[in-house]
Amino acid sequence: EAQKMREFVSDGGSLIGLVKKHCEIWAG
């Protein structure tokens, strides 16, 4: 799951900030 999210962030987007924050929180 984390890898998929990371890939999405790497792809880039308008919600990159939100996704990145979520990924960081999920990562711990």
Q: Is 27 exposed, middle or buried (0-12, 13-18, 19+ CB in 10 A)?
A: exposed
Quick one: pLDDT at residue 13? 60
Quick one: pLDDT at residue 8? 66
Domain that holds residue 2: 1-28
**Domain tally, the chain:** 1
Quick one: pLDDT at residue 9? 63
Quick one: pLDDT at residue 24? 84
Do residues 26 and 2 lie in contact, with contact meaning Cβ atoms separated by under 8 Å?
A: yes
SS3 annotation, the chain: CHHHHHHHHHHCCCCHHHHHHHHHHHHC
Q: What is the pLDDT of residues 1-28, one digit of tens each?
A: 778 767 766 666 667 777 778 878 888 7
Do residues 20 and 3 lie in contact, with contact meaning Cβ atoms separated by under 8 Å?
A: no
Quick one: pLDDT at residue 6? 73
Quick one: pLDDT at residue 1? 72
pTM comes to: 0.33
| Tokens describing residue 10 | 């790497």
